[in-house]
Structure 1
Amino acid sequence: MSGERSLAVALLAGGRSLRFGSDKAFFVPPGAAEPMWRLQLDKLLALEASEVIVSVGSRSSPTGFSPPTGVRLIPDRHPDQGPLGGLASVLGEIRSERLLVLGIDMPGVTVAALGLLLEACEPGNGRGLVPWLAGRWEPLLAIYPRVMSDVAEQRLARGERSLQGFVEAGVARGMIGSWPVPDACAGWFVNLNRPETS
């Protein structure tokens, strides 16, 4: 779809899913034929980015993931540090200038939604873009510049795991811009936290 050669895309599939009660990555929603990780990955593959990654978290052996050829599985270098640990690991591995991330538990996100986010992110300025909704950042459907890798590593070294704080640090450095989410798009950000709500 986008064919952007300076763009990497990553599915953050490494969460512990404590509230969900089982691994969200392998949950098969009602009416679906494939687990969440594959459904979400297919949306990212449609963007035709130069790098496609699945962040598999702290799993010592990512059994169950069988992505298409060319998709990389990246484990966390910082085990049990939450989403920022996965994001830092991916940012430290990519060659592309920017990284679009998608959370495993955001089934409302469509390929068209990803396209809108990409269109809103100005090409050539080197900055990322994070949606802003109801007074909060939405950091798990966002675009980050590769240079944010150092910021992520520094924050993890200080024990600061908050994604909200990570985004704020990027904004303060001029590395990230804000994208106010239109009301009609709020459904993209509904999280899958319980099997019965899928």
Structure 2
Amino acid sequence: MITGAILAGGQNRRMEGKMKALLPFAGELLIERQIAQMKTVCEEIIVVTNQPSLFLPVLDRSIRIITDYFPSKGPLSGMHAALSLARHPDVWIVGCDMPFISAEAAQVLLEQKRSVKCDASVPVIDGRTHPLHGIYSKSCADAISALLLAGEYRVMEMLRMIYWQEAAEALFTERGIDLAFVTNVNNPEEYDMALKNA
């Protein structure tokens, strides 16, 4: 049993103020594309946002919309809210600006997490760690809460406090999974590039 969580906060400054989750993408909204992927492996889907009114007209009632306990503290506060309120012990967390998230990649991460019995399984692609396509235990909420209360808002600091396992590229490529699943779009140029690759 797994919960999927989409972090849809942020100021979207580099996207000229446009809400990234609600950008059109290949005939649907970016968040609708993400939810379709999550529905194939997740029994529950959560959207974390401090602007629920933007999402209520778009999302069906099966999607839970929640807000941060620690508003305006970046992705870490969204992760904390998702992990605190998830109904299942394992939570697949992604950023709302990731158009190519992969349910197959999530399955690989979940298998690794369960076999190693770690707190989280996180992809490391081309030498870069991607915590926003990771699978986390609900219990990680405690470590994140301690960081936020201490005024620490960096996601990488959270990884220093938990037992996490690196999911190397080979885990995905040997199953034919496109590594584009970690791609995110921060600005109009990256958005246009992703559209061309859709």
CA distance in 1, matches of 2:158, 2:151: 12
SS state of the match for residue 55, structure 2? coil
1:12 to 2:3 alignment: no
Q: Aligned letter for 1:96?
A: H
Q: Aligned letter for 1:194?
A: N
1:99 maps to which of 91, 96, 115: 91
Is the contact made by 2:21 and 2:31 (CA closer than 8 Å) also made in structure 1?
A: yes
1:166 to 2:138 alignment: no
TM superposition outliers: structure 1 runs of 4+ over 6 Å: none
Count, aligned residues: 184
Report the CA distance between 1:17 and its aligned residue: 1.6
1:179 maps to which of 152, 163, 167: 167
Is the contact made by 1:44 and 1:111 (CA closer than 8 Å) also made in structure 2?
A: yes
List gaps (5 residues or longer) in structure 2.
none
1:135-146 equivalences in 2 (<5 Å):
135-146=127-138
Match of 1:50 in 2: 43
CA distance in 2, matches of 1:43, 1:14: 20
Report the CA distance between 1:52 and its aligned residue: 1.4
TM-score by structure 2 length? Answer: 0.83
TM-score by structure 1 length? Answer: 0.83
List gaps (5 residues or longer) in structure 1.
none
153-162 vs 135-144, which deviates more?
135-144
1:1-198 equivalences in 2 (<5 Å):
5=1, 7-21=2-16, 22-29=18-25, 32-47=26-41, 49-56=42-49, 58-59=50-51, 61-65=52-56, 66-122=58-114, 125=117, 127-170=119-162, 174=163, 176-182=164-170, 184=173, 185-195=178-188, 196-198=192-194
Residues 1:124 and 1:165: Cα distance change in structure 2 (over 3 Å): closer
CA distance in 2, matches of 1:197, 1:13: 21
SS state of the match for residue 94, structure 2? strand
Is the contact made by 2:106 and 2:134 (CA closer than 8 Å) also made in structure 1?
A: no
CA distance in 1, matches of 2:121, 2:59: 27
Report the CA distance between 1:186 and its aligned residue: 3.6
- Tell me the C-alpha RMSD between the 2 structures: 2.1
What percentage of residue pairs aligned between the two structures are identical? 26
CA distance in 1, matches of 2:88, 2:180: 29
